[in-house]
Structure 1
Amino acid sequence: MPRASTRTNASLAVAYLRVSSGQQADSRLGLEGQRATIQRWADARGVQLVAWAEDAGLSGAVALEKRPGLMEALAALRLHRAGVLVVDKRDRIARDVVLAAMAERLVEREHARLFSAAGEGEGDEPGAVLMRHMIDAFAEYERALIGARTSSALKAKVARGERLGAARVGERLVGGSYEPEEKEAALVRRVMELRGQGRTFRAIRAQLVAEGFRGRQGRAPRLATVFAIANRNEARR
């Protein structure tokens, strides 16, 4: 069983899930796979999972404060006095050494410890600490390689005169330019109305579902979509 501070209970854990792509988020396959792995980890160690939080469609390079699921997970640690934050693998927290270290520090401030269901770098021994840093560094390197390949592909598209980027929520691409998409524009307006009332992102999503709003593929709006809409429009003010 994991060890934690005397202020928290090491037999209680909060689970955090994350997938990067919108396709993974929509299919739920990536999230459900992580959920199953974490549940097996908890069952094998006699740990009770008291809360689950997720960031669907958010990169591991996104700033910690811009991840509603991670912020919810940290709040759940405090609420339940849980001594453990568990992830499927360490790169679910971050694919950046600095962000990973910051996240681990935030967990420690809640008198809890970060654990990977894959068992990467557990323990406080120098070798385990070094292993954690090596894992985080490799994840950052992998992200940099992916970024370099993506950048090259985008430059090639520009050279061919192709339009870059998918239409954002509330817009559609018509003849090489973006135009308002009325059904989605109504969703954007409603998100901002509810945000103006001081609602949380999770409360906004629940209200949208209750009112029958649907996203581009006919599914209920995701939490990450609500967050992106609010963040983009608040930045314009």
Structure 2
Amino acid sequence: MGATFDDLGVSGGLPLEQRPGLLAALDALGRGDVLLIAKRDRLGRSVLNVALVERLVERKGARIVSAAGEGSDNDDPTSRLMRQIIDAFAEYERQVIRSRTRNALAAKKRRNERIGSVPLGCQLAPDGKTLLPEPTEQRVLDVLFELRGAGWTLRAIADELNRRGFTTRKGGRWWGSYIWLQLRRREDEENTNGRS
């Protein structure tokens, strides 16, 4: 074995340019070399990306071998078909996982349950799941959105909130970038609710 490459913590569904370990492995290949992989879906979770990797490996005069078998030991028509079916199932599985995740998050949102960190203007209910309004932060948000609606700039809004003595959740000063995050969150909520 010549060298070991990995993409720890990197999704196989990402484009090749975002897979540094795979790119390094491809770059290191020479004529007659073998790219040994644990399973075919480690090459990628997109039929197009896997086909591109195969083409790059072929051009270098190397070949791909899967430790799990998966039709990589031969280049006959049946083995090629088997590889393409495995690649298609890997892409399908990725899409199913993505769909289930999206649906689960949408269901949590409909139940007004927390997704990620507790947003400004909310507090966690005693059940540890549900979000409830946080009155002080809601007042700050009301002022923020009112000023933005009146055409104030992000910096002017931050300055005004600071002037009025409002602090961020952590007790800090307001900055334009934090104002922008709150506006973006509101816009995302409106877009999501508009689609439901």
Q: Scaled by the length of structure 2, what TM-score is found?
A: 0.56
Identical-pair percentage: 54
Cα distance in 2 for partners of 1:82, 1:68 equals 22
Aligned to 2:141: none
Cα distance in 2 for partners of 1:135, 1:56 equals 22
Q: CA deviation at 1:109?
A: 2.3
Aligned to 2:20: 68
Residues 164 and 106 (structure 1), Cα distance of their counterparts in 2 relative to 1, 3 Å cut: farther
Q: 1:86 aligns with which of 13, 36, 42?
A: 36
Gapped regions of structure 1 (runs ≥ 5): 1-48, 166-172, 178-237
**AA at the equivalent of 2:68:** A
Q: CA deviation at 1:99?
A: 1.2
- Give the paired residue count: 119
Q: 1:176 aligns with which of 101, 115, 119?
A: 119
C-alpha offsets along residues 106-161 of structure 1, whole Å, 9 cap, x if unaligned? Answer: 21222211110111113111111101101111111111111111111111122233
Structure with larger Rg = 2
Aligned to 1:37: none
Aligned to 2:125: none
- Judge conservation of contact 2:17–2:23 (CA < 8 Å) in 1: yes
Matching of residues 186-205 of structure 1 within 5 Å: none
Note if 1:150 corresponds to 2:93: no
Structure (1 or 2) with the greater strand fraction: 1
Note if 1:54 corresponds to 2:27: no
Gapped regions of structure 2 (runs ≥ 5): 121-196
Note if 1:102 corresponds to 2:52: yes
Aligned to 1:77: 29
Q: CA deviation at 1:61?
A: 0.8
**AA at the equivalent of 1:53:** F
Q: Scaled by the length of structure 1, what TM-score is found?
A: 0.47
Aligned to 1:138: 89
Matching of residues 205-216 of structure 1 within 5 Å: none
Note if 1:128 corresponds to 2:79: yes
After superposing on structure 2, the runs of 4+ consecutive aligned residues of structure 1 that deviate more than 2 Å are: 160-165
Larger RCO (CA within 8 A; separation ≥ 6):
1
**AA at the equivalent of 2:38:** D
Cα distance in 2 for partners of 1:163, 1:76 equals 46
SS in 2 for 1:60: coil
